[in-house]
Amino acid sequence: MEEKQKNRMKDLPKIDLHCHLDGSMTRQCVEKILQKKVDPAELEAKDSCQNLAEYLDRFRLPLQCVQKEEGLRMAAKELLLNAAEEHVVYMEVRFAPLSSVHEHLSCRQAVEAVLDGLKEAQAQCQVSWNVIACAMRHHPQADSLAMMKVCREYLGEGLCAVDLAGDEASWPMEGFRDLFTQAGKLGFPFTIHAGECGRVENVLEAVECGASRVGHGIALKGHPAAQKLCADRRIGIEMCPTSNLQTRAARKDEYPIREFMDAGLLVTLNTDNRTVSGTSMTREMEFVSREYGVAKEELERFFRNAAEVSFADEQVKHRLYSLKFG
């Protein structure tokens, strides 16, 4: 892709609905928090991972960084400022509060540190944002429910939804029905990581539980009935191409983005983990344009889909709808 085209891609407005805070901490930020030099190979997956579990091992150092309020605040601030540099106009930042909670840091303190960092960044840029609190599959569900009850206090005040993340193969969706029934009763909208590396049944279970979006959803590939169900219900599909290829969720020559588009699914394009995957929204757009022939008007469709299925309030959505793409 010529340099001129790359610059044009960078200047297009972008929405990133699926971006994890810990997986997007730059090496410089990690080094500053940990006060030591870090080998880039410890943070970046590239193409060396054999599966999702191996990919998740790259989070070891970032997780050490989010054990204090200052680390959470710094990481959140840096993430939003970096996103602003490539013309991201709205972002939903995911983080797992329980991954930061310990004897000296409460769930409430962790949430407020992330919110504070994003507020500090927004004072310096024009990116609108929200936070999605992730329950992790390997955490006790009683603890996850307690976390959600704390997060409920911030719903509509910077926190917009909850999610389920982690090793899907080891902890499939059917084991979390009760947790997300409770999330719904608390008033949370939610998205769920499903079909990233697991079965299509995980996607269907997530939708039946009330998820309005699905993280990744690659397992929908080759299942037209399931695709139709998601299209009919206007379920947002949060695709993260670079990450999906690195975790071996799909092969490059079989990546289902075109199949999903043709099925009428509400496809959105996202980064997942900017540092671990070595990516950005600009790079994701360049990649799908180059590898799958995604045209500019189709990139605009992804943008409009993202605005529709976002957890933003109506005022922010109206602003996103009104933006000119290009």
What CATH number did the domain enclosing 261 receive? 3.20.20.140
In a domain, 324, yes or no: no
Is residue 325 domain-resident? no
Residue 58's pLDDT is what?
Answer: 79
Inside any domain, residue 209: yes
> What domain range includes position 74?
3-317
- The pLDDT, as a whole number, for residue 183 is 98
Q: What is the pLDDT of residue 2?
A: 56
Which of 178, 176, 254, 189 lies closest to 219, judged by CA? Answer: 254
Looking at residue 265, what is its pLDDT?
98
Structurally, how many domains does the chain consist of? 1
Please give the pLDDT value at position 42: 82
3-state secondary structure of 206: helix
Its sign, for the CA torsion 236, 242, 245, 248, is negative
Residue 3 is predicted with a pLDDT of: 60
Asked whether residue 266 is domain-assigned, the answer is yes
Cα–Cα distance measured from residue 195 to residue 272, given in angstroms and rounded to the nearest whole number: 15
Does residue 105 sit within a domain?
yes
Establish if 322 belongs to a structural domain. no
Contact 240, 274 (CB under 8 A): no
Known catalytic residues?
196
In this structure, is residue 323 part of a structural domain? no
pLDDT by residue for the chain (326 residues), tens only, comes to 556 666 789 899 999 999 999 999 999 999 999 999 998 888 888 766 777 777 777 788 888 999 999 999 999 999 999 999 999 999 999 999 999 999 999 999 999 999 999 999 999 998 999 999 999 999 999 999 999 999 999 999 999 999 999 888 889 899 999 999 999 999 999 999 999 987 999 999 999 999 999 999 999 999 999 999 999 999 999 999 999 999 888 999 999 999 999 999 999 999 999 999 999 999 999 999 999 999 999 999 999 999 999 999 999 999 999 999 97
Q: What pTM was estimated for this model as a whole?
A: 0.95
Measured at the alpha carbon of residue 229, what is the angle toward residues 223 and 194, in degrees to the nearest 5? Answer: 65
